[in-house]
Amino acid sequence: QTFKNIYLKIKTAADLVVQLSTSLKTKPDVVDFGTVFTDHMLTVEWNANDGWQTPLIRPFGDLSLHPACSALHYAVELFEGLKVYRGDDKRLRLFRPLLNMERMSKSAERACLPAFDQSELLGCIKRLIEIDQDWVPHLGPACLYIRPTFIGTEPSLGVKKPNRALLYVIMCQAGSYFNTELSLWADPKYTRAWKGGTGDCKMGGNYGGTLFAQLEAGSYGCQQVLWLYGEDHQITEGGTMNIFLHWINEDGDEELATPPLDGTILPGVTRQSILDLARKWDEFKVLERYLTMGQLCSALKQQRLKEMFGSGTACRVCHIGSIVYEEKNLQLPNQDKHSLSSRIATELTDIQVSR
């Protein structure tokens, strides 16, 4: 065991082997997020002796995995989520895919999975999209969701860095993630991530432990969990979203704020894009800072809160309507066409479909 990851390049996208499906599926109109997949998938195998193997695009189908596979026992696994949009000009565009490739590399390092060439992987993904391009909806600002996945496939029960891995990419209809404004349940008894953990990486282990709290949120009539951290109940993330407050801050200044990337927060691409956009506008303060439930409650009481919203690739920009916290149901300001979330959603869509 050495501490260094030997850098191994994915064989170039030019080497890619394509096996086309002989029977294409029909494309249903409206579906739940992440349930209907396209006709093809990309797979690339890796092993410690030979490095990356030839990338393969093949008909979508089940994976054959050894039952001792390290992903199934020790969650040696990570994923990404990005979207491809059909523009008003009919061309297809990925939204900031290099940010996803970079985050995926960081997750892989943290998970002790091998390094890969980001631009070669992106080249392979583009070829996959090209083959299944008819799955990107033709009407409206719709899109296809792309899920790169990277798993350890070491067929051994030792808890150790895997000598075999599989990187694969599947694509599915995005549908709409949430239909209405969000209600959140905030209780400090569950923690999503912590200092010295993996909360800033998109690793599977960050998610499996959250389902239980999500069900409890449901029992309070809420859709998602607002994850708190520490004695002072810091606001961290909501469900699988980053969180933003648009408010008049303690000093009386208009501010857009989101928690800083201190190791417990997922560095969302939509989060970054919102910060980039708002900083470009230069109309109010834009800050990455700690936010506590106490500060939120004070702002609410003093009518300083303009809006709270979540952001993520799957859910896009999501207005938050209410929070159940310490046996109170906090009603947050309503969304209207002047709300910042509406303006951001419109502007992001304009970029994504190239208006």
Please list every residue from 252 through 271 that binds a second copy, using CB under 8 A. none
189 binds a second copy (CB under 8 A): yes
Select the span of 20-28, 90-98, 208-216, 243-251 touching a second copy (CB under 8 A). Answer: 208-216
Which one-letter amino acid corresponds to residue 259? P
Give the tokens for residue 176: 């709409």
Instruction: Choose which of 47, 191, 292, 342 interacts with a second copy (CB under 8 A).
Output: 191
Whole-number Cα distances in Å, 29 to 14, 85, 139, 176, 275? 34, 16, 11, 12, 33
What is the total count of residues that contact a second copy (CB under 8 A)?
Answer: 71
Residue pair 54/16 in contact by the 8 Å Cβ criterion: yes
Identify which of residues 111 and 278 has a Cβ nearer to a second copy in the complex.
111
Rounded to 10 degrees, the C-alpha dihedral 70/72/76/81 comes to 140
Query: If binding is defined by CB under 8 A, does position 73 make contact with a second copy?
Result: yes
Figure out which of the listed residues 10, 16, 41, 144 binds a second copy, where binding follows CB under 8 A.
41
Output 3 or 89, the one with its CB closest to a second copy. 3
DSSP string, 151-213: EE-----S-S--SEEEEEEEEEE---S-SS-EEEEE-TTS-S--TTSSTTS-BTHHHHTTHHH
Classify residue 111 as left (phi > 0), alpha (psi -120 to 50) or beta: alpha
- Between residue 8 and residue 37, which ones bind a second copy under the rule CB under 8 A? 32-35, 37
Least distance in angstroms from the C-beta of 189 to a second copy? 6
The verdict on 327 binding a second copy (CB under 8 A) reads no
Structure tokens at 106: 């960081």
Among 46, 85, 116, 145, which residue sits at the site for a second copy (rule: CB under 8 A)? 145
x-or-dash string of contact with a second copy, 92-131, rule CB under 8 A: -----------------xxxx-------------------
- 276 contacts a second copy (rule: CB under 8 A): no
Nearer to a second copy, 17 or 211 (CB): 211
Regarding 194 and contact with a second copy (CB under 8 A), the answer is yes
**How many other CB atoms are found less than 10 A from the CB of residue 9?**
11
Closer by beta carbon to a second copy, 246 or else 316? 316
Give whichever of 72 and 142 is closer to a second copy, judged by the CB atom.
Answer: 72
Q: Is 178 in the site for a second copy (CB under 8 A)?
A: no
Query: Rounded distance, CA 2 to CA 183, Å?
Result: 47
207 interacts with a second copy by CB under 8 A: yes
Which range of residues in 12-20, 156-164, 283-291, 320-328 is near a second copy by CB under 8 A? 156-164
Distance CA 119, CA 270 (A): 21
Q: Where are the alpha helices (DSSP H) in 199-353?
A: 205-208, 211-219, 269-281, 293-301, 340-352
AA identity, residue 190: Y
Minimal distance in Å, beta carbon 328 to a second copy?
21
Residues 215-244 that bind a second copy (CB under 8 A): 215-216, 218-219, 239-240
Beta carbons of 203 and 107 less than 8 angstroms apart: yes
Q: Does 65 bind a second copy (CB under 8 A)?
A: yes
Residue 283 contacts a second copy per CB under 8 A: no
Query: If binding is defined by CB under 8 A, does position 136 make contact with a second copy?
Result: no
Asked if 103 contacts 267 with a C-beta cutoff of 8 angstroms, the reply is yes
C-alpha 145/C-alpha 84 separation (Å) is 7
Output the smallest distance, CB 319 to a second copy, in A: 20
Q: Is 294 in the site for a second copy (CB under 8 A)?
A: no
- Tokens matching residue 29: 């109109």
